[in-house]
Amino acid sequence: MVMAPSVITTEDICVNDNFYHCPKDPKLTLDTDHGVNAVSLPRASAAAKQLVLDVLRKRVADIDVATCEPGEEDAFYVADLGEVYRQHLRWKLNMSRVKPFYAVKCNPDPQILRLMAKLGNGFDCASKAEIDLVLKMGVDPSRIIYAQPCKTRSYLRYAAEKGVKQMTFDNADELYKIKADFPDAELYLRILTDDSDSLCRLSMKFGASLESARQLLELARELELKVVGVSFHVGSGAEDPNAFLKAVQDARYVFDQAAEVGFDLHTLDVGGGFCDETFEKFAAVVSNAVDVYFPPHIRIIAEPGRYYVASAFTLAAHVIARRTVRDPADPSRDAYMLYLNDGVYGNFSNIIFDHQHPVAQILTSSDDGNSSDGSCEPRAIDYSIWGPTCDGIDMISQRITLPGLVDVGDWLYFENMGAYTRCSATRFNGFPDNHDVIYISSEAGASALLEH
């Protein structure tokens, strides 16, 4: 079992064992006794951002780059578990029928997993290692779906040993493997979807076509395997809510085919693809579709990942070098190349693997930001931002305008860095792949869960 970090309640922000707690503040925390609505959630989230900034600045103020030990000025995160809690309330407010199974691959941070477990969520695991992470939290195996249609045989036997019965398949060979290694598994047929408008397309790799679905169901019946549901995934970072509608309609078609073959399916897995910015629009489509096509006794689950954690993590990085260059757009002006102690081989791996565009903001700067003409208007200065490795692709921003002159020793911060960042970092060039995380809780509800 993972031990809970200490949580301190004081009138001020305090720290103990890298865990900060925000006191109850009616302007900040949600009053769940009087209801949560679409207005209170974003207000609480906006107020919590100031707490995050305070913690970032407190940490940076304690670092003396002139005398610190190697690594003390490395990039670090502030993770607001209160933001995860708010996202969970938001989910329940908009999709109460759909039970979340958190996608561990997105961010396997132990404190995130602890909170997910305390919230009663299930877990979408894709490997033995992810299953182990969740089981070590004391989670019952029935709350895990092994959502990997093409599994290693030894992992299948391990899942059988641990009692992780729910799993997906999309091909005949997988059924033969399951028959040999885990014939008691509870299977979900993963079907192909249209994910052409998603950031990360998965249909090129996984999913059975509707034309092949009946054949697979008949084979499963012949092998005396237990098919209990249908799953789909419209792609990570989906942009078209109608993709969910079409996928639900296709799932209904497969449910009917399964009944004809002799299966009594009881679960629909609508996968992931939910994003913070478009969640309400997508949730409305999904909720309406499942209500239209599936009666109340059918269980509906989902596999959200980035939705829960992207906005909860903020990354701070140190400016280790700077070069003055001519502005390519205006050779009469200076522009600057900034080099950070983190890059695309590290926590900015979401640029390469997840098609993200992190936006730099100034955390600390020795420059007053005023224009050279003495006005109070901040100077707009253009930068390109680079990581620390020797590889030319290690670029964070090709061009960004910031208010003022950023120098060596200053710090930048990047919001929305909780999804597909730390988990896909590497040790290329010998740089560390596991940076410090300072955990905070801006919600009393999250703090209460984590204290026990």
Q: Which residues are catalytic?
A: 390
Specify the pairing of strand 166-169 against strand 186-190: parallel
Among 60, 73, 107, CA closest to 340: 73
Q: How far apart are CA 60 and CA 409, in angstroms?
A: 10
Specify the pairing of strand 19-21 against strand 14-16: antiparallel
Q: What interhelical angle do 81-94 and 40-61 show, nearest 10?
A: 170
- Residue type at position 271: G
Q: How far apart are CA 268 and CA 27, in angstroms?
A: 39
Q: In this structure, are residues 237 and 274 in contact, taking their beta carbons and an 8 Å threshold?
A: no
Compute the CA torsion angle 158, 159, 160, 163 (nearest 10 deg).
130
Q: In this structure, are residues 77 and 439 in contact, taking their beta carbons and an 8 Å threshold?
A: no
Q: How far apart are CA 110 and CA 329, in angstroms?
A: 46
Q: How far apart are CA 195 and CA 233, in angstroms?
A: 8
DSSP character string of 179-212: HHH-TT-EEEEEB----TTSSB--TTTS-B-HHH
Long-range contacts at 49-56 (CB < 8 A, ≥ 24 apart):
49/415, 51/13, 51/20, 51/22, 51/80, 51/440, 51/442, 52/78, 52/80, 52/314, 52/440, 52/442, 53/363, 53/413, 54/13, 55/13, 55/20, 55/438, 55/440, 56/314, 56/316, 56/363, 56/411, 56/413
Specify the pairing of strand 360-364 against strand 226-231: unpaired
Q: Which residues pair with 189 in a beta bridge?
A: 169, 230
Q: How far apart are CA 333 and CA 327, in angstroms?
A: 6
The total of other beta-carbon atoms located within 10 Å of residue 67's CB is 7
Q: What angle is formed at CA 317 by the lines to CA 315 and CA 321, rounded to 5 degrees?
A: 160
Q: How far apart are CA 188 and CA 184, in angstroms?
A: 13
Q: In this structure, are residues 421 and 315 in contact, taking their beta carbons and an 8 Å threshold?
A: yes
Q: In this structure, are residues 167 and 126 in contact, taking their beta carbons and an 8 Å threshold?
A: no
